[in-house]
Amino acid sequence: MRPLRALISSPLALLILLSAFAWAPLLAPGYFLRAHDARHSLIWLSELHQGVESGFLWPRWAPDHAQGYGYPLFTFYAPLAFLIAEVFNLLGAGILGAIKIVWVLATILAGVSMYQLGKRLWGVGSGFIAGLLYMFAPYHLVNIYVRGAFAEFVALAIYPWVVLTFWDVLTQPSARRVALAALSLGALLLTHSVTIMLLPPLLALLILYWLALAWRREGRPPVRATVSTLAAGALGGMLAAIFLLPVLGETRYIVLDQWLPAESYNYPQQFLYLFQWFDFQWGYGFALPGPNDGMNLSIGLWLAILGVVALPLAFRRREDRGQRAEEGKRAMLAGLLFMAAIALFATLAVSQVFWDAMPMIKLVQFPFRFLAPATLFLSLTASGVVAALLSPSEGRVQPLLLVLAAAILLSAWTNAKPQHTDVSERDVSPAADIFFELDYPDMRGSTAFASAGKPATSPKIEAYIKGEPLPLAEIATGEGEVEAVEHGGGEDVVRVRGRTPVTVRFYTYWYPGWRAWIDGEPAAAFYEPTDPNALIQVQVPAGEHIVRIRFTNTPLRTAAALISALTLLILVILFFWDTIRSHAPQNLPQLRDPRQS
């Protein structure tokens, strides 16, 4: 009985213990490679790892993408989740082990961050229920075991942290809280590219709602809270500048429409039907045009039940001595419910007029992705219902809440089950990218400089398939031979023996930032506009030479990195600002004018 009592008196510990029901399947051997994007989670960590091995602190180039021609993948796909996994990879966990570790940590973080947010808004017991509901929500488990959406899953773990830190800024503004809010927002923006169009707009609406409530309550504009919130948002965006600015400045250098093929990523064909919110059947198939999707796209049994109960609670009126406090709780509940309703509305076809009016939102690809913020706000709404109906005690979990917790786990029991598969050495090797593209030709990209579009093949394919050293370049003009010396994640080195002056053509896409050196001396790297694949070329004099190409920063990327670095420094100063002030001398000695002596 003592261990049980200890857990009940420590809701956070109990929550972390129960989280194991969501992540325990990851402890089994192998992986779940049949999940939609599961192969990507391994492939892209392998690509990023090659960049780290080549000395890039912030890798941008995926050397094996596009049939081995390479692609600036991490310029356009937020890499933070993979950088975190790379830490564990470098510590010896390996590609597969590192990805699994981050899956587990993100599951726990999702529950803990939601617990802290629910606790702040409603109390300890409600926070405990909020954490459980969020971790075991269908869309949360779909993202890991059905979709294998690694970066999006990590972003979901950060969602509650972002809302919590901005709530703290609004209620009690301080330099430290501004720093934490900016850090959380920046981390979210660096984790998942599509999330930029999901949570931040809804968060902005929620903040405006909260500010309006504060104005009404206090009878005057909440100037300090407003300024602090704007500062946190601006600093969060600046922290993510290392990713955001190159995305904005370099989108014209890739063929964006390649990632939005009408047959699979056309958002008008992917809207949900209302009944799907309440269809709790589980499946491992894909989202398809029409109502017969092969995967669960519901909001979950308990989120649905408690969300419905929230409607009368949010809008009822009570005349009692705690009327003002009750009004505040009702207003909070109504705001969260409204945010959930907006997110759910965006999943339905009736919202298409808004999708059509905002061209960039088509990059979301699947309207069902709005189930992510809907799950966030419904979990908070449901925990608010628990607070209103059960009045959970501070500091412990009531027995009735344990019953509800058991019901939540039982409703999700069959959902936390992946389709286990074996993992071969090839699945975690650079060649995995090639074999994936051979299976799915529509997933190949190309730069805007390559008039041929998606590459059908490349001179490297045979070597990838046979597991042999890759050919890196050829003699385009002149007489001579070229020998591969080194291949990395954004760097290639060859030895050239030219009987005449030669032009060396690397089997690598040209893209702004590539530079060349001949025997350590800078040389011009260029591409011929007549070359349909726009491959990098370097003119080399006769004789034997070492030619090296490397993907370097452009002025825009350098400026973006500096902005992020300076912003991080500002956030550190803000975080410790109160400590710095408290240790500063309070009464400095006054200097006397020597003329008065």
Residue 290 has a pLDDT of 86
Q: Count CA atoms closer than 13 A to 496's CA, side-chain side.
A: 33
**Residue 550 near residue 515, CB atoms below 8 Å:** yes
Q: What is the mean pLDDT of residues 232-261?
A: 90
Q: Tabulate helix, strand, coil % of the chain (nearest 5).
A: 60, 10, 30
CA-only gyration radius of the chain, Å: 27
Q: How far apart are CA 543 and CA 142, in angstroms?
A: 59
Do the bridges between strand 502-509 and strand 535-540 make them parallel or antiparallel, or are there none, so unpaired? Answer: antiparallel
Residue 593 has a pLDDT of 46
How far apart, in Å, are the Cα atoms of 92 and each of 32, 47, 97, 216, 580? 21, 17, 9, 56, 39
Q: How far apart are CA 128 and CA 387, in angstroms?
A: 11
**Residue 494 near residue 547, CB atoms below 8 Å:** yes
Q: What is the mean pLDDT of residues 73-90?
A: 97
Q: How far apart are CA 515 and CA 549, in angstroms?
A: 6
Residues 6+ apart with CB under 8 A from 305: none
Q: Is 517 helix (H, G, I), strand (E, B) or coil?
A: strand
Query: φ and ψ at 528, to 5 degrees?
Result: -90, 125
List pLDDT tens digits, range 427-446. Answer: 999 999 999 999 998 888 89
CA 192 to chain centre: 2
Q: How far apart are CA 418 and CA 238, in angstroms?
A: 38
Residue 594 has a pLDDT of 43
Other C-beta atoms lying within 10 Å of the C-beta of residue 325 = 10
Q: How far apart are CA 324 and CA 203, in angstroms?
A: 25
The pLDDT-based confidence of 9 (bands split at 50, 70, 90) is: low
The pLDDT-based confidence of 586 (bands split at 50, 70, 90) is: low
Q: Is 43 helix (H, G, I), strand (E, B) or coil?
A: helix
Residue 8 has a pLDDT of 57
Beta bridge partners of 473: 506
Residue 503 host element (H or E): strand 502-509
At the topology level of CATH, where does 461-551 sit?
Immunoglobulin-like (2.60.40)
Q: How far apart are CA 114 and CA 11, in angstroms?
A: 13
List pLDDT tens digits, range 307-321. Answer: 888 888 776 655 554
Tokens matching residue 569: 């420094």
Q: What is the mean pLDDT of residues 17-27?
A: 96
What residue ranges in 281-391 does DSSP mark as E strands?
A: none
Residue 394 has a pLDDT of 58
Q: What is the mean pLDDT of residues 507-534?
A: 97
Residue 358 has a pLDDT of 86
Show the CA angle centred on residue 488, arms to residues 487 and 492, nearest 5°. Answer: 50
Q: What is the mean pLDDT of residues 34-55?
A: 96
Show the CA angle centred on residue 115, arms to residues 393 and 295, nearest 5°. Answer: 125
Residue 132 has a pLDDT of 97
Q: In the chain, what percentage of residues exceed pLDDT 90?
A: 79
**Residue 192 near residue 155, CB atoms below 8 Å:** yes
Beta bridge partners of 526: 537
Residue 316 has a pLDDT of 65
Residue among 3, 2, 9 nearest 399 (CA) = 9
Residue 6 has a pLDDT of 58
Residue 443 has a pLDDT of 85
Q: How far apart are CA 119 and CA 130, in angstroms?
A: 9
pLDDT over threshold 50, residue 125: yes
Q: How far apart are CA 132 and CA 143, in angstroms?
A: 16
Q: What is the mean pLDDT of residues 220-240?
A: 96
pLDDT over threshold 60, residue 526: yes
**Residue 186 near residue 175, CB atoms below 8 Å:** no
Exposed, middle or buried by CB within 10 Å (0-12, 13-18, 19+), for 218?
A: exposed
Q: Count CA atoms closer than 13 A to 14's CA, side-chain side.
A: 25
Residue 255 has a pLDDT of 87
Q: What is the mean pLDDT of residues 452-472?
A: 95
Residue 587 has a pLDDT of 55
List pLDDT tens digits, range 363-417. Answer: 888 999 999 999 999 999 999 998 888 776 555 667 888 899 999 999 998 899 9
Query: φ and ψ at 497, to 5 degrees?
Result: -120, 100
At 565, which amino acid appears?
A: A
Q: Is 220 helix (H, G, I), strand (E, B) or coil?
A: coil
Q: Can you tell me which residue has the tokens 């009570």? A: 318
**Residue 552 near residue 469, CB atoms below 8 Å:** no
**Residue 164 near residue 181, CB atoms below 8 Å:** no
List pLDDT tens digits, range 129-139. Answer: 999 999 999 99
pLDDT over threshold 50, residue 588: no
Tokens matching residue 155: 């972003």
Domain boundaries, the chain: 2-252+269-421, 461-551
**Residue 454 near residue 67, CB atoms below 8 Å:** no
Q: What is the mean pLDDT of residues 199-218?
A: 94
Q: Can you tell me which residue has the tokens 């949360």? A: 140
Q: How far apart are CA 560 and CA 168, in angstroms?
A: 29
Q: How far apart are CA 229 and CA 233, in angstroms?
A: 6
Spell out a b/e string for 160-183, using b for 16 or more CB atoms within 10 Å of the CB, else e: bbbbbbbbbbbeebebbbbbbbbb
Exposed, middle or buried by CB within 10 Å (0-12, 13-18, 19+), for 75?
A: buried
The two counts, helices (H) then strands (E), for the chain are: 23, 8
Residue among 218, 224, 15, 240 nearest 111 (CA) = 15
pLDDT over threshold 70, residue 52: yes
Length of the chain: 597
Residue among 134, 111, 110 nearest 191 (CA) = 110
**Residue 571 near residue 183, CB atoms below 8 Å:** yes
Q: What is the mean pLDDT of residues 185-213?
A: 95
* Model pTM score: 0.93
